[in-house]
Amino acid sequence: MLDPDRIEALRNQPQAPASHVIGGELRPASDGAVLEVISPIDGSLLTTVPKGTREDAEAAIAAARRAFDEGGWPEMAPAARKKILLKWADLIEANALELAVLGVRDNGTEIGMALKAEPMSAVATIRYYAEAIDKIGGEIAPTAPGNLGLVHKEPAGVVGAIVPWNFPLMIGAWKLGPALAAGCTVVLKPAETASLTLLRIAELALEAGLPAGVLNVVTGEGAVVGDAIARSMEVDVLVFTGSGATGRRLLEASAQSNMKRVYLELGGKSPNIVFADAPDLDEAVKVSANGIFRNSGQVCVAGSRLLVERSLHDAFIEKLSAFTETMKVGDPLDPAVSAGAVNSLRQLEQNLAFVEEARAQGRTIVTGGTRILQETGGYYMAPTIVTDVKPDDRIAREEVFGPVLAVLPFDTEDEAVAIANGTDYGLAAAVWTGNLSRAHRMIRRIRAGVVHVNTYGGSDLTVPLGGVKQSGNGHDKSLHAFEKYLDLKTAWIKL
């Protein structure tokens, strides 16, 4: 599907100014303001999106409320909702390469990953939840014979979804698939620097027959549009993927408004732990490098801390830096590239600041550490490996969200666990070992939502994704995702 000629034809296709999707209509911002969309590929102006106002957010919420309360979507037979959602997935699939290229021009992810992880992942996710919704039912409680206890599962209402820029379609679909299948209506706010593909799939949803107001997309600034959604008295559930700082604000906004339920998928500082008895070191090297450097490290589950058993440390780092230097960084629309652009200049500067701080602390920059390809006008950073890192360093505790790997040696299993669990985060982890007992011990001892063994990433839709500690709460993916969008209601009947 990665036809280079087709990609080249799409690369420069002019993009008309984009519009919000509110109540089934395409609309500009209420005051006509726009945000410029700068392509991280070369720093050029790609198009504009509406710079939404509070009134825009409120109009979208009112449309979603009407569609929920009066529009019939929650009352529709699950099989009928399924039919519309499957049609929507088909339309996204039919436009997959166009969507992938548009998304890459907007956010910089390398095209090979973008096609799979963005439109095609959204297609799979929407199909999964559409197919599931007419196969899950309520319960009859095991009561005494004189009573009947029925447990209904009801759509939870209007969902506000606020999503980030690294994988807008994948993460957007993780929220939209189960929410819409469950019968909820949605107001979605994309990130400022990655809105275009979500606006486009909302248009495709209308084409597929999704009733007006069931899915609304409002673009603009987090502090305006996102805040209006978070503070709304009409939004029942708020789902979010993004930074811890914003997650904290959303919890406050909920407490200060209608106490809407808030589900957060926040960042990570995920430990990738390599024991000297790892079964296949070459595989561990390759997968560890990809686990931090693909999409320039802009992956919430990225393995950003590498813990290596001391006896293996030097040999492993030598192999890892040799492999890393073979990774091609650059134009994300070149199918041979393994890491594309950093999403924005702001993000690139943050990444470089982390590296400079480590350098000033006397840590060793084994490879990378610099901005590259500046002559293109785009935002590129060399994959960076930092060794001699101490567990208390900022680079070992805070999420960089860039192609920066912090390496820490350890001597014992206990020490590996202590370092692994020694941050505020608990999203993902990996353990490389040939010892089955050790693998299971580590799975139990590491506080994280997912622990990989002898691999990193690559889990599919059938398993939940969520964090513990300050990595968040609630789960995307798997049938558990429905728990956020379906309320339990008890009927207690005396017979």
DSSP string, 362-401: T-EEEE--SEE-GGGTS-EE--EEEES--TTSHHHHS---
- Is 243 a binding residue for ligand ADP by CB under 6 A? The answer is yes
User: 486-494 and 147-155 as β-strands: parallel, antiparallel, unpaired?
Assistant: antiparallel
- Is 483 a binding residue for ligand ADP by CB under 6 A? The answer is no
The DSSP call for residue 125 is H
C-alpha to C-alpha distances, 317 to 369, 384, 395, 409, nearest whole angstrom? 16, 12, 18, 11
C-alpha to C-alpha distances, 47 to 15, 44, 220, nearest whole angstrom? 6, 9, 14
Number of residues that bind ligand ADP (CB under 6 A): 15
Residues labelled catalytic: 265, 300
Dihedral angle, C-alpha 61, 65, 71, 75, nearest 10 °: 130
CA distance linking residue 133 with residue 179, whole number of Å: 10
Binding span for ligand ADP by CB under 6 A among 72-80, 153-161, 219-227, 278-286:
219-227
Nearer to ligand ADP, 229 or 287 (CB): 229
Task: Convert residues 138-177 into a mask of x (bound to ligand ADP by CB under 6 A) and - (unbound).
Answer: ------------------------xxx-------------
Binding span for ligand ADP by CB under 6 A among 120-128, 149-157, 185-193, 276-284:
185-193
Nearer to ligand ADP, 157 or 222 (CB): 222
Nearer to ligand ADP, 9 or 223 (CB): 223
Give ∠ CA 428-434-437 in degrees, rounded to 5.
75
Nearer to ligand ADP, 140 or 353 (CB): 353
- Is 37 a binding residue for ligand ADP by CB under 6 A? The answer is no
Question: Contact, 475 vs 481, CB < 8 A?
Answer: yes
Nearer to ligand ADP, 82 or 294 (CB): 294
Residue type at position 17: P
Nearer to ligand ADP, 95 or 243 (CB): 243
DSSP string, 288-336: HHHHHHGGGG--TT---EEEEEHHHHHHHHHHHHHHHHHS-BS-TTSTT
Q: Which of residues 245-304 bind ligand ADP (CB under 6 A)?
A: 246, 249
Nearer to ligand ADP, 243 or 257 (CB): 243
Question: Contact, 5 vs 99, CB < 8 A?
Answer: no
| 382 closest CA partner among 362, 352, 417 | 352
The DSSP call for residue 194 is B
Question: Contact, 444 vs 209, CB < 8 A?
Answer: no
CA distance linking residue 179 with residue 129, whole number of Å: 9
The DSSP call for residue 43 is S
CA distance linking residue 329 with residue 337, whole number of Å: 6
Binding span for ligand ADP by CB under 6 A among 148-156, 172-180, 239-247, 454-462:
239-247
| 239 closest CA partner among 163, 340, 310, 319 | 163
CA 193 to chain centre: 14
Nearer to ligand ADP, 80 or 251 (CB): 251
Question: Contact, 276 vs 307, CB < 8 A?
Answer: no
**Member of 40, 157, 183, 226 binding ligand ADP (CB under 6 A):** 226
Interaction site with ligand ADP (CB under 6 A) = 162-164, 189, 191-192, 222-223, 226-227, 230, 242-243, 246, 249
